[in-house]
Amino acid sequence: MTPRPPLHLALALDGAGWHPAAWREPRARTAELFDARYWTDLVQEAERGLLDFVTIEDSLGLQSDRFDGPDARTDRVRGRLDAVLIAARVAPLTSRIGLVPSIVAGHTEPFHISKAIATLDYVSSGRAGVRVRAGTGGAEADLFGRRTIPGIAAADLERPEVVALITELFDEAADYVEVVRRLWDSWEDDAEIRDVATGRFVDRDKLHYIDFAGRWFSVRGPSIVPRPPQGQPPVTVLGHGTVPYRLGARQGDVVYVTPRDADDARRIVEEIRAEQDAAGRGGETVHVFADLVVHLADSAAQAADNRARLDEWAGEPQVSDALIVAGTPGELADLLLDWQPAGLSGFRLRPAAIPHDLEGITRGLVGELQSRGAFRTAYEATTLRGLLGLPRPANRYAAAAAAAAAV
């Protein structure tokens, strides 16, 4: 019998938790959602649980239950801080856990994001990643006022012109990640030479123009930030269908998906693998993580009660793109290990209420998995790539220069 591959666990952080009424829980730190101390405590708790990384949700506009703009609700958490800055603020106060903020590709500059994530990698000593969201139109575009992109209503997602628009937005995101990645490689690792004899700080032959020219933007380079410690911080993408799967297959290291069961997971993984082959990345590691919203308690009945109480406060059952699971840590461990053979490398868990369900993961689920030999008992690497089993990649420009020299 072959040994079970390592299971990876990520924690998705958003406000007071993923249930819309989570902020009303007695233990919810609702008054601290915009304080550094809150975010530091959450990530440190995740690190005590030996989790691979945390993701930090973000959006350019105000949170909304609607797809196409603000919803004017007053009963839910609204307002948030920039996720890259939260990650950077937490980085010096943690030492092993990966930090993966969300960014929105559609309206921001790839040059700025590339240097921000490279810098996050420096301030965390190699623990940065990034979750890339494609831009959306409508209200989000109006915040920047630079482009007119129609808003997309949830009901229109299947219409051909909407599918075409979404495909374009994700193609732009793919170009965006290409620029971000080239900029990370635009300095070779040994470009800084500090050669006192010749007075040269850098060997400029080891700095590279990236000269990207695409449909949406052109970027010359090189970056102003030297190559980050990991070389290429992991790029992650959430997807619910072929278009985002393709972005993950072309440019990602981790794809988060939302299967309903193990068979669904198997089908999704196969689709991503096919997209990977089509993108010429068949031999490369692209992890697929399943997203789950989790309610955890010592008994299944208590977990169900917790969920019911939150739903009652919200006035309706929670609706989520990801499967909502309520149960004991042992039951959740069973589910993860049951789904894992479908081709999943791991899971990104969305705690329904923070801190309750976060602690259910770090203090309950992790122990259950460890007792079954399915999860690490100590961090085995110091970088996020290391935790994900990704080797430090060669620099594309150094490799090209070496190949040219060999001719």
Partner 1 sequence: MSRPTKQIHLAAHFPGVNNTTVWSDPAAGSQIEFSSFAHLARAAERAKFDFFFLAEGLRLREQNGRIHDLDVVGRPDTFTVLAAIAAVTERLGLAGTINSTFNEPYEVARQFASLDHLSAGRAAWNVVTSWDAFTGENFRRGGYLAEQDRYERARRFLHTAWELFDSWHGDEIVADKDTGQFLREPRPGTFAHHDDFFDISGQFNVPRSPQGRPVIFQAGDSEAGREFAASSADAIFSRHSTFEDGQAFYADIKGRLAKFGRRPDQLVVLPAATFVLGDTDAEARERAEVIRHQQVSGATAILFAEQLWNRDLSAYDPDGPVPEVDPLPGENTISKGRASVRMFDDRLATARRWRELGEAKKLSLREVVIEVTGRQSFIGSAATVAETINRFVQQDASDGFILVPHIVPGGLDEFADQVVPLLQERGVFRAEYTGTTLREHLGLELPG
Q: Pick out residues in 80-99 that bind partner 1 (CB under 8 A).
A: 80-82, 84-86, 88-93
Q: For the chain, give the number of residues.
A: 407
Ranges of H-type helices in 185-280? 242-251, 262-278
Q: Count residues near partner 1 (CB under 8 A).
A: 80
Q: How far is the CB of 297 from partner 1 (least distance, A)?
A: 20
Tokens of 92: 């010096």
Residue of 66, 64, 86, 68 lying closest to 77 (CA atoms): 64
Cα Rg, the chain, nearest whole Å: 21
CB-nearer residue toward partner 1: 262 or 401: 401
Q: How many CB atoms sit inside 10 A of residue 362's CB?
A: 22
158 and 240 in contact (C-beta within 8 Å)? no
Cβ atoms 171, 158 nearer than 8 A: no
Q: Is 58 annotated as a binding residue?
A: yes
Helix axes 110-123, 83-90, angle to 10 degrees: 20
- Give the per-residue SS3 of 167-196: HHHHHHHHHHHHHHHHHHCCECCCCEEEEC
Q: Is 318 an interacting residue with respect to partner 1 (CB under 8 A)? A: no
Applying CB under 8 A, among 44, 66, 67, 109 the residue interacting with partner 1 is 109
Q: Using the rule CB under 8 A, which residue among 44, 66, 67, 73 binds partner 1?
A: 73
**Nearer of residues 4 and 204 to partner 1, judged by Cβ:** 204
- Taking CB under 8 A as the criterion, the residue among 159, 204, 260, 267 binding partner 1 is 204
Tell me how far apart the alpha carbons of residues 314 and 319 are, in angstroms, rounded to a whole number: 11
Neighbours of 124 (CB within 10 A): 27
Taking CB under 8 A as the criterion, the residue among 12, 225, 286, 365 binding partner 1 is 225
Q: Which of 224, 301, 400, 402 binds partner 1 (CB under 8 A)?
A: 224
Residues 140-199 close enough to bind partner 1 by CB under 8 A: 142-146, 187, 192, 194, 196, 198-199
Chain residues 261-300 in contact with partner 1, contact rule CB under 8 A: none
Query: Of 44, 59, 318, 320, which one interacts with partner 1 (CB under 8 A)?
Result: 59
Q: Could you say whether residue 36 binds partner 1 (CB under 8 A)?
A: yes
Pick one of 66, 167, 216, 281: the residue that binds partner 1 (CB under 8 A). Answer: 216
Part in contact with partner 1 (CB under 8 A); list of ranges 67-75, 235-243, 321-329, 350-358: 67-75
Residue list, annotated binding site for FMN: 58
